[in-house]
A and B are shown apart, each in its own frame.
Chain A
Amino acid sequence: MGFSVSASAAIIFISFLIAATTLYTAWDNSYSDVRAAQEDWYSLKLSQLNTLSSLDIKKSSVRTGTNDKGEYYNLTLAIKSNGVTLYVPHWSGTYDGKLITLYSVDDDNVGFISDYTYLLPGDSVQLNVTYIPRDETQHTLNVVFGNGCWVRFNWYYNTTDNTVYVNTSRGCPTEVS
Chain B
Amino acid sequence: MAAGGPASELIMFIVAIIVAGSVAGALAYVTSDIAHGINEHGELLADKLRTDFAIINDPRNIPVDTSTDPDTYTFYIKNIGKEPIAFTGDAVQVFIDGNLIPASQLSFESVEGGSITSLQPYEVGVIKVKYNLSQGQHTITIVLENGIRRKLIFHVS
A residues engaging B (CB < 8 A)? 1, 3-5, 7-9, 11-12, 14-16, 18-19, 22-23, 25-27, 29-31, 33-34, 36-38, 40-41, 44, 90, 92, 94, 96-99, 140, 142, 144, 146-148, 150, 152, 173, 176
Contacts and interface: CB of A to CB of B under 8 A. Distances in A.
B106 interface: no
B100 interface: no
A15 B17 contact: no
Contacts of B105: none
A91 B28 CA distance: 51
B13 A4 contact: yes
A94 B56 contact: yes
Contact of B124 (A14, A22, A92): A92
Main secondary structure of the interface of A (DSSP, over half): helix
A30 B28 contact: no
Given A8-B20, A144-B78, A33 B31 contact: no
Contacts of B55: 173
A46 B155 CA distance: 30
Contacts of B50: 37, 40-41
B80 A148 contact: yes
Contact of B43 (A23, A33, A176): A33
B7 interface: no
A97 B56 contact: no
